[in-house]
Structure 1
Amino acid sequence: MAPCCTAAALSACQLRVQARPENIRLQRRSWLQRRRQPLHAAAAAASEDGPGPLSSRDEAERLNRLLQPTKPITGEELRQLVVDKWGVSYDVTLQRRGKNMYLHVMWKFLEQQSFPLTEEEYMAQLDAVCSYLNLWEVADRVRAGIAGSRRHPGYTAGGSARAVSINLDVDVGGMGRSAEWNTF
C-alpha cells in the first residue's frame, strides 16, 4: 500500500499549517487597523467641522429620553391643539379600520348650531378619547399628526364630508389591551 503523502508533500503541508496562524494574525491585525482608521478619520473631521461624536453619557441620556413614557394628553389639550390648528373645536373620534386604529378629526364642530353635543358632553368625549390615547401611549403621535396635517376637516367641493385621519399605529386585531375593540 502506497503512502498517501510523500515526504516532500508532507513537509509542505506542515509548513502551510504552521504558517497559517501567523497569516491569520497578520490578516486580523490589518483588518482591525482598517476598521479603526475610518473612526479616527471621522473623529478628526468632526472636531474640525463642529461637535464630535456623542459621549457615552450623552448617548445614554438620548436613549433614556426615548424610553421614557410620553406625556399624557388631556381633553383640554386635545381641544386646544385642534383649535390652534384649525380655529374651531372639531369633533374628535376613534375609528377602527381593519386591524388599525385611527383618530379622526371630523368636520362637525362645537361652535356650530347643529352640533349634537353640549360643551360638557363634548369635553367628556374628548376626555374619553384621550384616556385611550394615553393607554396606547400615542399622545405624541397625535400631537405631531395634528400639527403636521396639511388637510382641513370640512366639506369638499362635491359636498361630501372630509375628516383628517391620524394613524395611531395600534394593532387592534390581536390580543391584549386592544382586544376590546374586536367587537366593532
Structure 2
Amino acid sequence: MSLPSSALPPAPEPGAPLSAQEVWDLLQTRWQVSYDLQLVQRRGRLYLQVMWAYLEQQSFPLTEEGYRSKLEELVGLLNGLGVAEQVRSWLGTTSDKPRQGKAMGLALEIPAGRASEFLL
C-alpha cells in the first residue's frame, strides 16, 4: 500500500539509492497513477521508458504484487547503473505525460565502467 502524497517522506539525500516505494510515490505524485516502467536498449544506449499502461487500468496485465516485484527489480538495476539521481530528478520534474501508444523516455547517462556490464 502506498502512502498518500501528503504523507510522503522527506526527499532522500543526493546520491542515495532509489527505492521501489520512492519511485511508486514519484509516479503517484506526478500523474496519480502507477505507470509501467521499462529499461530499453537502443543503439548502444539505455533508456528508462514510462509506458502509457498503468496498474490502475482494468486491462493492466500485472497484479499489484507483480507490479511491485517488477518495480523492485528495475530499481535494483537503476541503482546498479548509478543513475538513481537522474531518474529521481526526471520523474520529479518532467512536465510530459505518457500518451496512448507513446512512451516517455529518459536517455540514461551511465557512469564510465558500468555500461559494459549491461550493454552487449
In structure 2, C-alpha distance between the alignment counterparts of 1:69 and 1:179, rounded to whole Å = 25
> Which residue among 52, 60, 73 is the counterpart of 1:115?
60
> Which residue among 158, 162, 174 is the counterpart of 2:102?
162
In structure 1, C-alpha distance between the alignment counterparts of 2:115 and 2:67, rounded to whole Å = 24
Q: 1:145 corresponds to which residue? A: 90
Give deviations 1:57-109, integer Å, cap 9, x for gaps: xxxxxxxxxxx971010111111101100110000110111121111111000
Give deviations 1:128-184, integer Å, cap 9, x for gaps: 1111111112111111111221211122xxxxx11111121127xx9x54335445x
What displacement does 1:127 show? 0.7
Larger radius of gyration between Structure 1 and Structure 2? 1
Show the 5 A alignment for 1:87-126. Answer: 87-126=32-71
Show the 5 A alignment for 1:59-98. Answer: 70-98=15-43
Structure with more relative contact order (C-alpha pairs < 8 Å, separation 6 or more): 2
- For 1:170, the aligned partner's letter is I
Q: Secondary structure at the match of 2:108?
A: strand
Q: 1:178 corresponds to which residue? A: 115
What is the percent sequence identity of the aligned residues? 38
Runs of 4 or more above 4 Å deviation: none
Q: Which segments of 5 or more consecutive residues in structure 2 lack a partner in the other structure? A: 1-12
Aligned pairs, number: 108
Higher share in helix: 1
In structure 2, C-alpha distance between the alignment counterparts of 1:104 and 1:163, rounded to whole Å = 6
In structure 2, C-alpha distance between the alignment counterparts of 1:114 and 1:148, rounded to whole Å = 28
